[in-house]
């Protein structure tokens, strides 16, 4: 028994405590910005119910909006390069991002509480779309700075000013990226727990009172930009104290300040990034405001062409073997993230047909966040000892298996399992079990790639590398939204919509949801596996 306990403690020490020992105070500022991004999940549940209760929009419309919401992340290209250029003044961008996020929350507060002049100025749906677009614009600006801070947070010298060896710094970079995901998921866990409390007793409230609760949640959300701003202010204070400490050790002030300047010297502007970003914005706005058919597809194709052009430029700074490996890795992760989702109709089904209320959805969100956090610790040795390809294949197969319970819920498996188990294994039990197993999988694939970039990208272009590669992989989410929209147009799903007089304007129809869930599961399984097979048999084979 003692030996078993010792082995368990050794495992816990290697998996959890070691990560804590590798933590540095300099890591805290970027972790605060990442935490603020994760805390944006505070409004995810309230947003779902706001759309369902107050907006008469279809699942296909929401999938299309998801495409537009994802596009600002492609702006990380010029944003990342801008951060490299204005390295000493990058904190200004965090303030700009905080303002955009706060504006989004204030708009949603006004909509939820029924501010009269807003509906007179613009339709409610237009205000909602504006808020939905402002928020990701703010987060993408802050995320570009956070990536730069995560590189700057890894010290180059010890307390006495002696340079740290390469292996130590490599380990610190991996730790920093892992802790960044931990901060993000930890924030999701915190706000999910808060949502459970905020949504307590919502079913018994009249509609007007529900709007007040929704509005209060958006007001609480204003704490999110405050957290990110506090992070950069802390970074400025830490840097000044570290410079003072190095000067006290005998270094000149110029030498001490040089430790916080990226190696390779000042970055010269590469106007291709800004021209490409400007072309992306012009293309998106022009086509987005027009009534041209297939405008989203044209924007996606144009955005992909711009990103690929900029990727070709940045990988030229790498050794040929590393460049090929990075391209192969990016393709695999792109396909993994580009697989379509069922869309809003699946959530509507769980609300209308299975009786999942706001509080239970918040419980599922909490379970997802907590177990993702645990999974990242538990699976850390797996990420350290296996290639990205191995991890993607493992996650793909797991996701395919975990799609089965949701399909079973649609076809009524709970009606069979509940009587056999005395009512224990009902719809909510199956949903919780499925969520508990699936939770750790979503965030795992990106960690090895982020650590790879932090280690191998040129020191004075790391923010640019992060931004361009993130733009490429985030375009995968836009591709996923397009695929989701296509499937929702083919398999029409509607929820019940009632007019002001209580009459049913649109009846609920979930008859095609089952086939939609099956097709999504098949694509999600086959797509990444085929991509891995093709890439690993080509010159882009990645050993990492």
Quick: pLDDT tens for 221-258.
888 889 988 888 888 888 788 778 777 777 777 777 66
Same domain (yes/no): 118, 174: yes
Extract the tokens encoding 318.
Answer: 């790498």
Going from the C-alpha of 201 to that of each of 122, 218, 515, the distances in angstroms are 32, 18, 35
Same domain (yes/no): 236, 334: no
Q: Does some domain include residue 296?
A: no
CB count in 10 Å sphere of residue 430: 19
Note the pLDDT of residue 519: 93
Burial state string for 57-84 with b = 16 or more CB within 10 A and e = fewer than 16: bbbbbbbbbbbbbbbbbbbbbbbbbbbb
CA distance 483 to 478: 9
Going from the C-alpha of 509 to that of each of 48, 59, 345, 346, the distances in angstroms are 19, 12, 10, 12
- Report DSSP state, residue 457: S
Q: At what angle do helices 513-536 and 320-338 cross, to 10 degrees?
A: 170
Extract the tokens encoding 352.
Answer: 């209308």
CA distance 254 to 256: 5
Provide φ and ψ at 167, rounded to 5°: -65, -40
Q: What is the pLDDT along the chain (544 residues), one digit of tens a residue?
A: 677 777 667 767 666 677 677 777 778 888 888 888 888 777 776 777 777 777 776 766 776 677 677 767 766 777 777 777 777 777 888 889 899 999 988 988 888 887 778 878 888 888 888 888 888 888 888 888 887 777 777 776 666 666 666 667 666 766 777 788 788 877 877 777 777 777 777 666 776 677 777 888 888 888 888 998 888 888 888 878 877 877 777 777 777 766 666 555 566 777 777 777 677 667 666 665 566 677 778 878 877 887 788 778 777 777 787 788 878 888 888 888 888 888 877 878 887 877 777 677 777 777 776 767 776 676 666 666 677 788 788 888 887 887 888 888 888 888 888 887 777 777 877 776 666 445 455 556 666 666 666 666 666 666 677 777 777 777 787 888 888 888 988 888 877 766 666 666 677 788 888 899 899 999 989 999 999 999 888 888 876 6
Q: Does some domain include residue 286?
A: no
Same domain (yes/no): 469, 412: yes
222 contacts: CB under 8 Å, gap ≥ 6: 102, 105, 106
Note the pLDDT of residue 100: 92
Extract the tokens encoding 267.
Answer: 């970055």
Same domain (yes/no): 452, 532: yes
Residue pair 451/174 in contact by the 8 Å Cβ criterion:
yes
133 contacts: CB under 8 Å, gap ≥ 6: 68, 69, 72
CATH number at residue 54: 1.20.1250.20
Q: Does some domain include residue 442?
A: yes
Same domain (yes/no): 150, 254: yes
Provide φ and ψ at 157, rounded to 5°: -135, 160
Same domain (yes/no): 50, 189: yes
Same domain (yes/no): 226, 357: no
CA distance 99 to 133: 13
Choosing from 276, 309, 332, the residue where a domain stops is 276
Note the pLDDT of residue 498: 67
Choosing from 276, 310, 343, the residue where a domain stops is 276
Same domain (yes/no): 134, 206: yes
CA distance 188 to 386: 27
Q: Does some domain include residue 309?
A: no
CA distance 307 to 302: 9
Same domain (yes/no): 142, 68: yes
Residue pair 24/172 in contact by the 8 Å Cβ criterion:
yes
Note the pLDDT of residue 499: 62
Q: Which residue has the tokens 């028994």?
A: 1
Extract the tokens encoding 234.
Answer: 């802390």
Choosing from 276, 307, 340, the residue where a domain stops is 276
Same domain (yes/no): 253, 337: no
**Of 237, 202, 291, 336, residue with least CA distance to 29:** 237
* Structural domain of 433: 319-543
Note the pLDDT of residue 530: 93
CA distance 429 to 283: 47
Q: What share of the chain is helix, strand, coil (3-state, %, to 5)?
A: 80, 0, 20
Q: Does some domain include residue 331?
A: yes
Same domain (yes/no): 338, 265: no
Tell me the CB-side half-sphere exposure of residue 177, using CA atoms within 13 A.
23
Q: Does some domain include residue 294?
A: no
Extract the tokens encoding 258.
Answer: 């040089």
Provide φ and ψ at 163, rounded to 5°: -60, 140
Q: Does some domain include residue 256?
A: yes
CA distance 142 to 137: 9
Q: Does some domain include residue 287?
A: no
Task: List 494's β-bridge partners, or say none.
Answer: 509
Give the CA angle between residues 227, 233, 235 to the nearest 5°. 105
Same domain (yes/no): 27, 142: yes
Extract the tokens encoding 283.
Answer: 């293309």
Residue pair 257/243 in contact by the 8 Å Cβ criterion:
yes
Domain count, the chain: 2
């Amino acid at each position: 028994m003692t030996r078993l306990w010792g082995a368990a403690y050794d495992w816990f020490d290697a998996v959890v405590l070691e990560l804590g020992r590798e933590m540095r105070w300099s890591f805290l500022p970027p972790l605060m910005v990442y935490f603020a991004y994760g805390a944006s999940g505070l409004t995810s549940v309230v947003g779902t119910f706001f759309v369902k209760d107050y907006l008469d929009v279809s699942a296909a419309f929401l999938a299309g909006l998801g495409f537009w919401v994802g596009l600002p992340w492609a702006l990380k290209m010029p944003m990342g390069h801008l951060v490299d250029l204005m390295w000493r003044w990058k904190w200004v961008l965090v303030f700009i991002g905080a303002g955009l996020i706060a504006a989004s929350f204030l708009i949603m507060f006004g909509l939820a509480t029924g501010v009269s002049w807003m509906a007179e100025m613009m339709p409610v749906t237009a205000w909602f779309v504006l808020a939905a677009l402002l928020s990701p614009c703010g987060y993408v600006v802050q995320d570009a700075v956070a990536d730069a801070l995560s590189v700057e947070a890894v010290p180059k010298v010890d307390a006495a000013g002696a340079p740290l060896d390469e292996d130590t710094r490599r380990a610190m970079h991996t730790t920093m990226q892992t802790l960044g995901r931990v901060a993000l998921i930890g924030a999701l866990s915190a706000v999910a727990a808060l949502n459970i409390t905020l949504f307590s007793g919502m079913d018994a409230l009249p509609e007007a009172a529900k709007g007040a609760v929704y509005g209060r949640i958006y007001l609480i959300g204003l704490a999110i930009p405050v957290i990110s701003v506090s992070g950069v202010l802390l970074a400025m204070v830490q840097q000044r104290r570290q410079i003072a400490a190095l000067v006290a050790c005998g270094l000149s002030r110029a030498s001490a300040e040089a430790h916080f300047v990226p190696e390779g010297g000042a970055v010269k502007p590469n106007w291709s990034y800004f021209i490409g970003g400007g072309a992306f914005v012009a293309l998106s706005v022009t086509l987005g405001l027009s009534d041209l058919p297939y405008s989203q597809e044209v924007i996606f194709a144009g955005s992909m062409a711009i990103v690929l052009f900029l990727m070709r430029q940045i990988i030229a700074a790498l050794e040929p073997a590393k460049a090929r490996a990075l391209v192969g890795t990016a393709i695999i992760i792109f396909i993994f993230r580009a697989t379509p989702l069922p869309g809003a109709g699946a959530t509507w089904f769980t609300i209308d047909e299975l009786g999942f209320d706001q509080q239970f959805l918040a419980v599922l969100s909490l379970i997802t966040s907590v177990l993702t956090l645990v999974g990242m610790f538990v699976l850390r040795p797996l990420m350290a000892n296996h290639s990205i390809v191995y991890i993607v294949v493992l996650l793909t197969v797991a996701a395919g298996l975990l799609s089965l319970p949701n399909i079973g819920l649609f076809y009524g498996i709970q009606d069979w399992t509940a009587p056999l188990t005395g009512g224990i294994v009902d719809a909510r039990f199956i949903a919780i079990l499925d969520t508990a197993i699936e939770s750790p999988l979503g965030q795992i694939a990106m960690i090895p790639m982020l650590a790879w970039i932090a280690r191998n990208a040129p020191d004075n272009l790391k923010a640019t590398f992060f931004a361009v590669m993130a733009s490429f992989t985030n375009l995968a989410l836009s591709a996923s939204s397009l695929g989701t929209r296509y499937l929702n147009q083919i398999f029409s799903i509607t929820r019940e919509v009632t007019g002001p007089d209580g009459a049913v304007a649109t009846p609920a129809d979930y008859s095609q949801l089952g086939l939609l869930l099956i097709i999504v599961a098949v694509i999600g399984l086959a797509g990444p596996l085929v991509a891995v097979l093709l890439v690993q048999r080509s010159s882009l084979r990645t050993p990492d």
